[in-house]
Amino acid sequence: MPIDAKLLERAYQSGTLEGLPDGHFIDGRFQPAQAGGRMESFDPGRAEPFATFAAGDAADVDQAVASARGAFEDVWRDTAPEARGRVLMRTAELIRANVSRLAVAETLDSGKPVGEAQGDVLGAARTFEYYAGACDKLQGDTFPLGPDHLGYSFNEPVGVTAHIIPWNFPISTTARGIAPALAAGCTAVVKPAEQTPFTALMLAELLSEAGLPPGACNVVTGTGQDVGAPLVAHADVDHVTFTGSVATGTGVMKAVADNVTSLVLELGGKSPVVVLSDCDREAALDGVMGAIFENAGQICSAGSRLVIERAIHDDFVDTLCQRTGALSIGHGLRDPQLGPVNSDRQLETVSGFVDRGRERGATVLTGGAATTDPQTGKGWFYEPTIIADRPVDDELVQEEIFGPVLTIQIAEDAEDAVRLANATRYALVAGVYTRDFEAAHQLARRIDAGQVYINEYFAGGIAVPFGGNRMSGFGREKGLEGIRSYCRTKSVAARIAR
Ligand code: ADP
């Protein structure tokens, strides 16, 4: 499905998109922040504001949660599962019908190349389709209690759910949270990142158009402090799904404790891509580059460490550096191979990691500097960067950079690769490239990660559960497992004979 070329060009020339949503989406309609607050959203490709949006506070959160509570109790939890499924399916169709507008909005807000944004939007449609089909399959169980009793269980929706969304995958993360929540019969309040508020608002409007009752999906925009914090601590929120940084996530964990609110945390990663000497070289080169340069490395599951067997290191890394140096850089609406990073703060963070690494003696094989769009001289860009082999305790190996920076670790053999792969506090995903079937599955078992990709990084899709271990968080999203957070089991045991 090609992007509407005229819309794309108009957005590029004007620097914005006409008809962006204005206001929070609460109770089925757009409305201003009660206190009248506004914020600017920046186009990272030009480092300039391109639109404004409502900056909410606790009063707006209260209103949205009350609206979600009403919609839950009065309508949505008792809506027939097949009717819920139809709304989600229509939403998927509407997302597809609006792919160009959604992708352009996502690119202006986040900076990512519009081809990637289009993939995210279509992925969001696929997410709604997937969970549309799940609505009427949330079966319970029966328990063998003997002839005098009957025991059974069913899945109840947990209630009002809060979704805290990061800026790197705005529409994807919103969809993967609210589609299963709505499928289960829950209602939702979404807090998009303040850097990227628009596609969540557009999605909420499409859900309404698809027939979702007012209040079943609300979006409140604003900062983490003013909107996120009161939302996760709200006594009438039954479940929180948080995707973001470790520092904010651990704060959210503390905040939900007072109300004993259930929580899924999807935090950071420092994921290894293990490349063994018998790999398919071309597949591994493509995989390693996609793993770290897609979305300019701003992916919690980015493959930010190349763990490579010594035997093929020199030749593989030479080619990798040549191809990396040749990547096109530019404004996301020009669909380059590498777009900007999301903010000046992020650019500083990425630069800081590389500059400190240099001071410790790290060798930068390619890249290693902040830059701008070669056409306009504007924007928050960082060159695609590869750092030569670092010791395991180095910051460049241990810490999530969240930018286009790949650190190499040399492994002596597959055994050593497992040791290196597991040597950080994160355990989100891992990639493995080898033609040896047994070695691949041995590594998949022994590497600590929520998800392991073999011979294709980011393989899978909505059907495959996703989430981390250790400091990468807990709970799983996506797949049928992803719907469990939004259901709770009610068991019934009855005496039926005396
Ligand atoms: P980053 O530091 O890269 O912005 P965060 O983890 O802080 O990443 O942001 C992820 C999401 O969490 C954003 O929507 C942000 O507004 C939100 N957020 C930030 N602080 C809080 C908080 N104290 N409580 C709830 N949400 C928050």
Q: Quote the pLDDT of residue 134.
A: 98
Nearest to 472 by CA among 299, 354, 349: 299
Check pLDDT > 80 for residue 1: no
pLDDT of residue 49: 98
Question: How many other CB atoms are found less than 10 A from the CB of residue 35?
Answer: 13
Residue 65 Cα, ligand 1 centroid: separation in angstroms? 19
Distance CA 351, CA 158 (A): 43
Nearest CA to ligand 1 atom 23: 229
Neighbours of 118 (CB within 10 A): 22
DSSP letter assigned to residue 34: T
Give me the pLDDT at residue 2, please: 86
Q: Ligand 1: distance of its center to the CA of 345 in Å? A: 14
Mean pLDDT, residues 379-387 taken together: 98
The number of the ligand 1 atom at minimal distance from the alpha carbon of 223 is 16
Identify the residue whose C-alpha is closest to ligand 1 atom 7.
Answer: 248
Task: Report pLDDT digits (tens) over 441-495.
Answer: 999 999 999 999 999 999 999 999 999 999 999 999 999 999 999 999 999 999 9
Contact 279, 481 (CB under 8 A): no
CATH architecture label of 272-461: 3-Layer(aba) Sandwich (3.40)
Å from CA of 167 to ligand 1 middle: 9
H/E stretch holding 303 reads: strand 303-309
Q: How far is the centre of ligand 1, averaged over its atoms, from the C-alpha of 16 (Å)?
A: 25
Question: Which of 164, 252, 267, 295 to mutate to test ligand 1, by most ligand atoms within 8 A of the CB atom?
Answer: 164
Q: Where in the chain do CATH 3.40.309.10 domains reside? A: 272-461
Distance of CA 498 to the CA centre of its chain: 55
Reduced to 3 states (helix: H, G, I; strand: E, B; else coil), residue 239 is strand
Where does the chain hold its CATH 3.40.605.10 domain(s)?
5-267+476-489
Give pLDDT tens digits for 181-240.
999 999 999 999 999 999 999 999 999 999 999 999 999 999 999 999 999 999 999 999
CA of 251, closest atom in ligand 1:
23
Distance from Cα 227 to the centre of ligand 1, integer Å: 10
**Ligand 1 lining (C-beta closer than 6 Å):** 164-166, 191, 193-194, 223-224, 228-229, 232, 244-245, 248, 251-252
Contact in structure between 128 and 89 (CB atoms under 8 Å): yes
User: What is the fold of 5-267+476-489?
Assistant: Aldehyde Dehydrogenase; Chain A, domain 1 (3.40.605)
Q: Which atom of ligand 1 is nearest to the CA of 248?
A: 6
Identify the three-state secondary structure at position 67.
helix
Ligand 1 closest atom vs CA 243: 10
Active centre residues (catalytic): 266, 300
